[in-house]
Structure 1
Amino acid sequence: MGWPGTSRSPGRRRSKRMATTDVREITCKTILTRTGGFLEGYTHTLQPYVGCVYRCPYCYVQALPVHLYHGGAWGDYVDVKINAPERLEAEMARLKKRGKPVRVFLSSATDPYQGAESKYRITRQCLEVFASLHPDRLVVQTRSPMVHRDFDVLKRIEGVELNLTLETHDETVRRNLTPHAPSVASRLKTLDAAMETGLPVRVTISPMLPNDPDTFVETLRDRCHSVVVDTYFDGDGSGGMRTERLQVREMYERFGYGEWYRLGAHHALVDALTASLGAGCVAYSKEGFNRAVRAAPKI
């Protein structure tokens, strides 16, 4: 199977300025990366892009080598892996031939539906490969309403799950802390559409931002099959040290959210979710990201 725009030699790059983001077309030698640890329920991760225009100030990827050795401020660049679909097809075929399990988390270090995807459609082309070559499990993780565009392909992939990030129900909090991310309203609309389509839907409150627990619970009612809550202290891979270095505490204090930056701040929300939705629908951090979700009566 051939894919448009993938005939350039490995390593060659073309750079384009789009708004304030430097978008580069690159080629990759491999696209599936072995994983474990926090994502122990998966065999591989897949990153169609490098970088993320949502610029979430707390994103742990800023502390990883993929960003530290890249050059440029977080959110100012996106590298497009233009040959990702054809690499995926080759790697999936090889794994299948060897009888290896393939459980993919798409994506853990970028958002597969950030702005560049509307032009390049790398994620959609990768989904087409999965629809043909049948992974044992595929979780699509995004905070972008653009995923709605690909519901038709997702429905064809057996074992697919949609994780949609919604860190808070409060649009003011969202604007203060993640001004470049999609609005709360647009994500709620996407959840409604996903449920209507019949996809297995998990809301990832990751990381949890300031919220009113009772309001958040009611906001999520009938909009997902399960929920996972995570925090900086358990979700950044370093017990909160990476987040501390990113000066997130200072940002919280600047907006008057200082009491939310502490161990245990998530308990009230987890308790409210569990009381309303049931323990089987709510999980915390690592357990929640690895637990499978299946389309069932909505919560």
Structure 2
Amino acid sequence: MQVTINQAKSLLNKATGFIQDYDFTLNPYRGCQFGCNYCYASAFSPNAQLKANWGDWVMVKENSAELLVNELERISKKYDRPIRIYMSSVTDPYQPIEQKAQITRKILQVLIKYQPVLVLQTRSPMVVRDIDLLRQFHNLRINISIPTASERVRKDFESRSPSVKARLQTVEKLRHQLPSDDDYKIKFAITMTPLLPSYDEDLAKFIEQLVTVDRIVIQPFHSSQNQSLKASTPAKAIELKRKYEWWYQNENENYRNLLNRLELIKQYYGVEIFEGREGFGYD
């Protein structure tokens, strides 16, 4: 793993496109050690070599906390409402290096003072480490990414990521230790984005474990038709799509079947079901 310590010039970037409901994105790192082979973020690598080696390098924005204080002092004066921040859009704030570097934790300590509307997007159980800080936010949504119900599929598409079981357990721990009330509105979502194959024998138990969250977001696998697109599917993932032809040859039907099953959770448990961009808003 190639780890580089950088001094960032800016931390808050204007949110556009898929997460345009926010004011800014915030990425504590550049690159991601999880290296999911379908990840669109690899397209934003600094050069072709790093793009090819996605998952084998990470740049640590060492001065993030200090830089964030300066940016928030300047920016917050322009808003008469809480700033909306999405953390993170092209990295995972709780990838393994965070255990030592603690950049995300330092950022959270800064953000508590300014109380933004904050969304944390991660696939890592490490997020529970910061429960002491998270419970101090008045408007917080935690999105846990779980694109598949099947562990064997996870091992193919996300070999370096935590298990499906570990992520589901993370949701349960957060739900029990971060209660929501009128003053501290803490929400939880499972994001099945992009939706990966799931074996039917795994789906029933998996869906049962989703009933405690506020929201489920699903989105089809991103297009592999136009490789010039920044968010196009990397070649490794296209190869895996061939391995799982039994799913992808009927992708639309499988997607709709899962959506219909999730709608039952909405009907009986009141869980919000969203498709695509709409599901990534705080509200």
TM-score range, shorter chain: 0.7 to 0.9
Counterpart in 1 of 2:182?
none
Aligned length: 270
Q: Equivalents in 2 of 1:94, 1:47: separation in Å?
A: 19
Moved beyond 4 Å, runs of 4+: 69-72, 234-242, 255-258
Counterpart in 2 of 1:205?
192
Q: Equivalents in 1 of 2:28, 2:47: separation in Å?
A: 15
CA distance 1:74–1:38, shift in 2 (3 Å): same
CA contact (8 A) 1:226 1:282 kept: yes
* Alignment pair present for 1:220 and 2:210: yes
Q: 1:73 Cα shift?
A: 0.5
* Alignment pair present for 1:130 and 2:111: yes
Q: Equivalents in 2 of 1:77, 1:245: separation in Å?
A: 17
Counterpart in 2 of 1:248?
237
Q: 1:86 Cα shift?
A: 0.8
CA contact (8 A) 1:35 1:44 kept: yes
Alignment identity in percent?
31
Q: 1:36 Cα shift?
A: 1.8
Q: Equivalents in 1 of 2:126, 2:105: separation in Å?
A: 11
In structure 2, which of residues 251, 264, 268 is the aligned counterpart of residue 262 of structure 1? 251
In structure 1, which of residues 96, 104, 117 is the aligned counterpart of residue 76 of structure 2? 96
CA contact (8 A) 2:122 2:143 kept: yes
TM-score by length of 1: 0.82
CA contact (8 A) 1:233 1:240 kept: no
In structure 2, which of residues 258, 277, 283 is the aligned counterpart of residue 286 of structure 1? 277
Counterpart in 1 of 2:18?
38
CA RMSD of aligned residues (A): 2.6
The answer to which structure, 1 or 2, has the higher relative contact order (CA under 8 A, 6+ apart) is: 2
Q: Equivalents in 2 of 1:156, 1:75: separation in Å?
A: 32
* Alignment pair present for 1:178 and 2:171: no
Q: Residue 162 of structure 1 aligns to which amino acid in structure 2?
A: I
CA contact (8 A) 2:247 2:254 kept: no
* Alignment pair present for 1:111 and 2:92: yes
Q: Which runs of no fewer than 5 residues in structure 2 stay unpaired?
A: 180-185
CA contact (8 A) 1:51 1:67 kept: no
In structure 1, which of residues 243, 260, 276 is the aligned counterpart of residue 265 of structure 2? 276
Secondary structure of the 1:233 match is: coil
Q: Which runs of no fewer than 5 residues in structure 1 stay unpaired?
A: 1-20, 293-299
CA contact (8 A) 1:45 1:108 kept: yes
Q: Equivalents in 2 of 1:277, 1:240: separation in Å?
A: 34
Q: Residue 53 of structure 2 aligns to which amino acid in structure 1?
A: A
Q: 1:216 Cα shift?
A: 3.1
Q: Residue 95 of structure 2 aligns to which amino acid in structure 1?
A: Q
* Alignment pair present for 1:74 and 2:54: yes
